[in-house]
Chain A
């Protein structure tokens, strides 16, 4: 699958290949050390972050995590209030 940044496709496919191998051969077998693909991930990220800026994607909105350790937030009134607050702050 293509990356949002055309020039990131090569970096992405190298990282994806590394991740898929790590995921099946290590993670699913109980090994949680994920450092093996880190260098590839970092160079891929550098490229993607530039592409996000280029595409004017709201990076603040991207950073909001809806996962809280183990559970996901359910969309409630208070969440909406939080997100509108964040928008106001930015």
Chain B
């Protein structure tokens, strides 16, 4: 049984900006694990959608116990994508090639337009057929996958911010706003706790 994982990410950029940024994601400060990226196929389908196939190579950092299964220092990933202007969607289907019996990761992401925002819905299947080690490999694969998801979202946001700076300022304001609110909430909370402690000590003193 493959391990299944899903999540979603909100990007504060419209679909057209996502379309443009998608091809320029690498390199970014979060993509030091990405070694190369090549387009192998590209065509406009009869329905006017853009199909692309890219080969991406990444480093293959492993825990000590994993080194006996994977000898390779890097892994190859094939990313197929389809851009549909009519439905304003970008669908990607990514898989690793080679070592599929050891660890097989298949990821599908659908980027969907949501007014001024775009939401990426991600699902992944992680599988291994190594006798006795499959569940450990799958658990490791899933954790590494989750970490790479965060890096990928951070990296994509970074590139989008470079390409569309006005939006980025807005995103910073939003983030700043959230941080400010969080600070205020924390301050209120600590004051509330202080009061409680004061009341409690007062209460204890009265008891004594």
Q: Which residues of A contact B (CB under 8 A)?
A: 1-4, 8, 12, 15-16, 19-20, 23-24, 27-28, 30, 32-34, 41, 44-45, 48, 52, 57-58, 61-62, 65-67, 69-70, 72-75, 83
| Minimum C-beta distance from B40 to chain A (A) | 7
Q: In the complex, are the beta carbons of A69 and B23 less than 8 A apart?
A: no
Q: In the complex, are the beta carbons of A30 and B24 less than 8 A apart?
A: no
| Minimum C-beta distance from B95 to chain A (A) | 7
Complex formed: what's the CA distance from A4 to B177 in Å?
Answer: 43
CB of B85 within 8 A of chain A? yes
Given A32-B44, A48-B40: A20 touches B125 (CB 8 Å cut-off):
no
Q: In the complex, are the beta carbons of B38 and A3 less than 8 A apart?
A: yes
Q: In the complex, are the beta carbons of B42 and A75 less than 8 A apart?
A: no
Q: In the complex, are the beta carbons of A23 and B20 less than 8 A apart?
A: yes
- Enumerate the 7 nearest inter-chain pairs by beta-carbon distance, A residue then B residue, closest first: A1-B26, A1-B37, A4-B36, A72-B93, A61-B97, A32-B44, A2-B36
Q: Which residues of B contact A (CB under 8 A)?
A: 2, 16, 19-20, 23-24, 26-27, 34-40, 42-45, 47-51, 53, 55, 57, 76, 78, 80, 82-83, 85, 91, 93, 95, 97-98, 100, 106, 108, 125, 127
Q: In the complex, are the beta carbons of A72 and B38 less than 8 A apart?
A: no
Provide the residues of chain B in CB contact with A27, threshold 8 Å.
44, 50, 83, 85
Partner of B48, one of A19, A32, A52: A32
For A48, the closest partner residue in chain B by CB is: B38
Q: In the complex, are the beta carbons of B42 and A72 less than 8 A apart?
A: no
Provide the residues of chain B in CB contact with A83, threshold 8 Å.
100
Complex formed: what's the CA distance from A16 to B42 in Å?
Answer: 12
Complex formed: what's the CA distance from A15 to B41 in Å?
Answer: 13
Q: In the complex, are the beta carbons of A61 and B98 less than 8 A apart?
A: yes
Q: In the complex, are the beta carbons of B76 and A69 less than 8 A apart?
A: no
| Minimum C-beta distance from A49 to chain B (A) | 9
| Minimum C-beta distance from A87 to chain B (A) | 9
Q: In the complex, are the beta carbons of B27 and A1 less than 8 A apart?
A: yes
| Minimum C-beta distance from A38 to chain B (A) | 10
Can you add 16 more A-B contacts, CB < 8 Å, to A2-B37, A19-B23? A1-B34, A2-B35, A4-B36, A20-B20, A20-B23, A27-B85, A32-B44, A45-B40, A57-B76, A62-B97, A67-B51, A67-B93, A70-B49, A72-B82, A73-B93, A75-B125
For A32, the closest partner residue in chain B by CB is: B44
Q: In the complex, are the beta carbons of B55 and A62 less than 8 A apart?
A: yes
Pull 23 A–B residue pairs with CB atoms less than 8 Å apart, ordered by A. Answer: A1-B27, A1-B34, A1-B36, A4-B57, A19-B39, A20-B24, A23-B23, A23-B50, A27-B83, A27-B85, A33-B44, A34-B43, A57-B55, A58-B97, A61-B98, A62-B97, A65-B53, A66-B80, A67-B93, A70-B47, A72-B108, A74-B108, A75-B106
